[in-house]
Amino acid sequence: MKKKEWLFEIMSEDQESCNLFRVGLISFLLLITGSLVGGDSLGTDKQVLLSLKTFLEGQNRVNRGSKYTLWNSTDESPCKWPGISCDGVGNRVTGVNLSGDNLAGKIFDNFSALTGLTYLDLSKNTLENAVPADLGTCRSLRFLNLSHNIIDGELNLTGLYSLEILDLSMNRLGGEIWPVFPGICNNLVVMNISNNGFSGEIGNAFARCSNLEYLDLSTNNLSGGLPFGIDKLRGFSVGQNNISGELPSWIFRQNCSLQALDLSENKFSGELPKEISYCKDLSMLNLWGNSFSGLIPEEIGFIQGLETLYLGNNKFSSSIPDTLSGLKNLLYLDLSKNGFGGEIQEIFGRFTQVKFLLLNGNAYTGGIISSGIPNLANLSRLDLSENSFSGPLPAEISQMTNLKFLILAFNHFTGTIPSEYGSFPVIQALDLSFNSLSGSIPQSLGRLASLLWLTLASNSLTGEIPGELGNCSSLLWLNLENNRLSGSIPAELANIGSNPMPTFLLNRDEDKIIPSSSGECQIMKRWIPADYPPFSFVYPLLTGKKCRSLWDKLLKGYGLFQFCGAGINVRTFQISGYVQLCNNKLSGLVPPEIGKMQSFSMLHIGYNNFHGKFPSEIGKMPLVVLNVTQNKFSGQIPPQIGNMKCLLNLDLSHNNFSGQFPTSLNNLTDLNKFNISYNPYIYGVIPPIGQLATFEKSSFLGDPLLNLPSFIDNSTENQPDKHENPKKTTNLGTFLVFAALVLAFIVCGVIFFVVCLVVKETSEKSPADYLLEDTKIRHDSSSPDGSSSPWFPSAVKVIRLDKKFFTHSDIVNATGNFSADRIVGRGGFGTVYRGVLPDGREVAVKKLQREGIEGEREFMAEMEVLSGNGFGWPHPNLVTLYGWCLDGSEKLLVYEFMGGGSLEDMITDRVKFSWKKRIKAAIDVAKALVFLHHECHPCIVHRDVKASNVLLDRSQSD
């Protein structure tokens, strides 16, 4: 019995072992088969990734990334490839991170083959088109980030049941929000779909998202009201949408979990419910840019954790509850643009804990000192701009030792800038622009070692730019335009911005420099000039979040755009500043030290009185914008400007540059704005190929010695018809002659009536173009007095159309020094005198009276009308125009004397064609006058130029 039992036991064990072997074998076979069929192995994951690499390289043949290009097919495992992560034992690929890796084109459509994939980050690239349907079948995916791309179309991710974190922000996705998200949000914790084009009402789209904690729907096209249950979230943002109506009190319940609530820039109205105080954990409340009205609830003062409170751009009452001053954690208070007037409320002097105080855009008239604001020792930023403050600037503000930003722009402050403003120990931005300040710029401002931004624009400041500003080694953004500053640019100014890094490093140590509200984009636009090409495209795109990001990068010294150094095509991201000194009375020479300013990409010194040679050292600056228009620079244009490979905007117009035009400017392949007009002594050939040949004739007006390619032309369909027969006759000749005589007496009234009718049909072609089209250019180097100096004091520039020379003094003598007894008529904005030139010609001299730009336009209009160019006249000339002359503000036209001086007399005497032609001529004259008064550039000639350097001879005989 024992033996049988033993055998039975052995047999039982063998049977069990056999069964276990069979089960193991079957399991192994199933595993192998499953791996072969489903691709559930590291080897197949590797092949999928190599397919992804081939796909990306095919779409990015030039600018390839730094991650996927290093994936090597000879490696046994992809787990150590850049951007790839695997599970703990290295058996499966679980993560793909190609964020910011220069990806472009479509999204790879086989990510589902990575069956173990739980993490996918393709953000910060240039991926486009719609999200492929394949991505919606990645059922294991828990993290998906496609933000900061240009993906468009509607969204379908209904198969992503395991998704916990979804970021689709900063794309171009659209469609109704309701059908997209309910099916995938069971496990969602974080969802960010901001900055897209989703539309429709929110409704109950997120009602099933029981685990959702953070939801960002900002900057879309959503409408309707707020959904029930947002108080269950920790963070909710719906800013910059079209949500409207009153904010219902039932949205906030006793167990509110909200820590951050952003309802900014919507259409909410009515009073703010006091029940918002149920959100005891609230640290950020942003209601900026709505129509909330009534009293600010005192219950907000019970939310002790509140750190940032944006109530700006609403209609709240000016009565500020005392409870707010008890918010010990409150750092940021924005009550801008609420219509508060009179004196600043005294309660603001009790916000000793606040670091950022924004009261801009109200109607305050005083109270800066009486409110106690200068006693706020912790205040880092004070913005009182766009109010109605008047009187002198308060010197007491200089006692605020922690102040980094002081913005007092757009007020009515008068008097001088207090020297005490040079005592701020840590100030980084000082904006006193758009006031009525006078006096000189204090030398004490040179002590502001941390100053990054100084703008004193649009005041009435006088005196010289203090050389002490050169001690501001952090100063990168300097704006002194639209003042009355005089003197030269001090050589020391070239030292500004030489070492801003200590200030940048200080800011980098702080997590958040400027927690920005949406309204601060206005300050950002003042910081960044609108005509600065790298930034100009940003303006229509600026939102609260983008402004916050730009602020942070600028103040920490991170470059926003790529620039290149002199003679270098390689572009790198670097911080770059500007110097704006235009519209002053500055004079003298530009110092050659300007070449040391290697951290500046914009220099605007136009509309001043600078003279002499422009320094060649300018070519060492990494400029993107160079504007020196309306000065008196002379000599050759520095060919070194052609070394500025990143230059986009170059304006050298209205100067006295001379010599051969530097063809090196044709190397500026990025140039998109170029103006060399009204430098009449520049000669040479504009190459028919290259960048300069892409500009129209308007870039070269008033440069008669330049030889332009024949295809550079601004002609329009409004040119005169050269094939029209001027001698067309009719069978009603006698009647038409009588009608012509009658019309001569009523032409003034007709012109006035026609102007009203044709003002909407103004020609696109500048009359100055017509003037230059039919001229034959030649160069005469002799002056009337035989002097070879271009600066001879009595030389007056005379531009002529005839072949017989005369000077300004000849005109004066011919008219008896414009004697009253020589007056023969008045009309066309000036007085007409009769005279006789030295060669015996009897002439009419029209002396235009009006000065300024408008006077110059009228001068051009008269000149065009008299010469008959471009206005549909059937004869080449209405009257023989001998020439014109500018002597300072004096504008003279010299033409054939016809017995009358007015335009109407000339029409009567000279126009001898059909009445239809006569009306057409009157219409064209009216159109020319309207056009010139709004569009034409004046033909400006300076007195200090050699008299006879340029003569314009008409190609057809008179």
For 16-35, the three-class secondary structure string (H helix, E strand, C coil) is HHHHHHHHHHHHHHHHHHHH
Q: What does the pLDDT look like over 787-799, one tens digit per residue? A: 322 222 233 334 4
Q: Which of 28-42, 568-582, 764-778, 891-905 has maximum average pLDDT?
A: 568-582
Q: Is 263 helix (H, G, I), strand (E, B) or coil?
A: coil
| Residue 763, pLDDT above cutoff 50 | no
Q: Which of 181-190, 590-599, 843-852 has maximum average pLDDT?
A: 590-599
Q: Which residues, other chains included, contact 452 with Cβ-Cβ below 8 Å and sequence gap of 6+? A: 428, 429, 474, 475, 476, 477, 500, 503, 555
Compute the CA torsion angle 386, 392, 395, 396 (nearest 10 deg): -70
Which of residues 115 and 564 earns the better pLDDT score? 115
The token pair at 150 is 């240009």
| Residue 567, pLDDT above cutoff 90 | no
Q: How would you classify the pairing of strands 609-613 and 405-407?
A: unpaired
Residue 418 exposed, middle or buried by CB count within 10 Å (0-12, 13-18, 19+): middle
pLDDT band at 512 (very low <50, low <70, confident <90, very high): low
Number of C-beta neighbours around residue 115 at 10 A = 17
Beta-carbon-side half-sphere exposure of residue 301 (alpha carbons within 13 Å): 11
pLDDT band at 757 (very low <50, low <70, confident <90, very high): very low
Residue 49: per-residue pLDDT? 96
Q: Residue 84 and residue 554: Cα distance in Å, rounded?
A: 33
The token pair at 338 is 């609420």
Q: What is the 3-state secondary structure (H, E, C) of 389-439?
A: CEEECCHHHHHCCCCCEEECCCCEEEECCCHHHHCCCCCCEEECCCCEECC
Number of C-beta neighbours around residue 62 at 10 A = 6
Which of 144-153, 537-546, 751-760, 857-866 is the least confident region?
A: 751-760
Are the C-beta atoms of 810 and 843 separated by less than 8 Å? no
Are the C-beta atoms of 930 and 875 separated by less than 8 Å? no
Would you tell me the crossing angle of helices 733-758 and 915-934 to the nearest 10 degrees?
A: 20
Q: Residue 928 and residue 767: Cα distance in Å, rounded?
A: 8
Give the DSSP letter of residue 240.
S
Q: Residue 578 and residue 562: Cα distance in Å, rounded?
A: 15
Residue 795: per-residue pLDDT? 33
Beta strands in 780-887 (DSSP E): 798-800, 823-827, 830-836, 842-848, 881-887
Residue 896: per-residue pLDDT? 75
Residue 98: per-residue pLDDT? 96
Are the C-beta atoms of 484 and 461 separated by less than 8 Å? yes
Residue 726: per-residue pLDDT? 35
Are the C-beta atoms of 239 and 259 separated by less than 8 Å? no
Q: What does the pLDDT look like over 523-556, one tens digit per residue? A: 777 777 766 666 665 566 666 667 777 778 888 8
Are the C-beta atoms of 293 and 269 separated by less than 8 Å? yes
Report the chain's mean pLDDT, rounded to a whole number.
Answer: 78
Residue 725: per-residue pLDDT? 39
Which of 306-310, 392-396, 454-458, 908-912 is the least confident region?
A: 908-912
Are the C-beta atoms of 819 and 845 separated by less than 8 Å? no
Residue 791: per-residue pLDDT? 27
pLDDT band at 812 (very low <50, low <70, confident <90, very high): confident
Which amino acid belongs to residue 892?
Answer: L
Catalytic residues: 944
Residue 553: per-residue pLDDT? 83
> Residue 578's beta-bridge partner residues?
477, 602
Are the C-beta atoms of 167 and 146 separated by less than 8 Å? yes
Are the C-beta atoms of 845 and 835 separated by less than 8 Å? yes
| Residue 336, pLDDT above cutoff 70 | yes
- Tell me phi and psi for residue 379, to 5 degrees: -65, 125
pLDDT band at 895 (very low <50, low <70, confident <90, very high): confident
Give the DSSP letter of residue 110.
-
Residue 630: per-residue pLDDT? 96
Q: Residue 264 and residue 492: Cα distance in Å, rounded?
A: 46
| Residue 320, pLDDT above cutoff 80 | yes
pLDDT band at 739 (very low <50, low <70, confident <90, very high): low
Which of 254-258, 512-516, 809-813 is the least confident region?
A: 512-516
Q: Which of 98-102, 835-839, 867-871 has maximum average pLDDT?
A: 98-102
Compute the CA torsion angle 236, 240, 244, 248 (nearest 10 deg): 20
Residue 286: per-residue pLDDT? 95
Helix (H) or strand (E) holding 482: none
Q: Which residues, other chains included, contact 707 with Cβ-Cβ below 8 Å and sequence gap of 6+? A: 684, 685, 686
Q: Residue 697 and residue 631: Cα distance in Å, rounded?
A: 21
| Residue 849, pLDDT above cutoff 90 | no
pTM recorded for the entire structure = 0.69
| Residue 7, pLDDT above cutoff 70 | no
Give the DSSP letter of residue 495.
G
Distance of CA 612 to the CA centre of its chain: 32
The token pair at 108 is 């790879």
Which candidate, 62, 75, 65, 74, places its Cα nearest to that of 96? 65
Are the C-beta atoms of 306 and 297 separated by less than 8 Å? no
| Residues found in the chain | 958
Q: Residue 53 and residue 101: Cα distance in Å, rounded?
A: 12
- Using only C-alpha atoms, the chain has a radius of gyration, in whole angstroms, of 38
Are the C-beta atoms of 663 and 643 separated by less than 8 Å? no
Among left, alpha and beta (phi > 0; psi -120 to 50; other), residue 77 is beta
Residue 549: per-residue pLDDT? 76
Q: Residue 670 and residue 300: Cα distance in Å, rounded?
A: 54
Residue 743: per-residue pLDDT? 55
Which of residues 524 and 780 earns the better pLDDT score? 524
What percent of the chain stands above pLDDT 70? 72
Are the C-beta atoms of 401 and 374 separated by less than 8 Å? no
Q: Residue 950 and residue 946: Cα distance in Å, rounded?
A: 9
The token pair at 374 is 């200068």
Residue 627: per-residue pLDDT? 96
Q: Which of 392-396, 574-578, 697-701, 843-847 has maximum average pLDDT?
A: 392-396
Q: What does the pLDDT look like over 596-638, one tens digit per residue? A: 999 999 999 999 999 999 999 999 999 999 999 999 999 999 9
Mean pLDDT, residues 75-95 taken together = 92
Compute the CA torsion angle 567, 571, 575, 579 (nearest 10 deg): 40
Q: Which of 25-34, 45-54, 194-203, 889-898 has maximum average pLDDT?
A: 45-54
Q: Residue 452 and residue 840: Cα distance in Å, rounded?
A: 67
Q: Residue 205 and residue 177: Cα distance in Å, rounded?
A: 7
Q: Residue 614 and residue 626: Cα distance in Å, rounded?
A: 12
Are the C-beta atoms of 641 and 615 separated by less than 8 Å? no
Residue 827: per-residue pLDDT? 53
Which of 158-172, 530-544, 762-776, 917-931 is the least confident region?
A: 762-776
Q: What does the pLDDT look like over 121-146, one tens digit per residue? A: 999 999 999 999 999 899 999 999 99
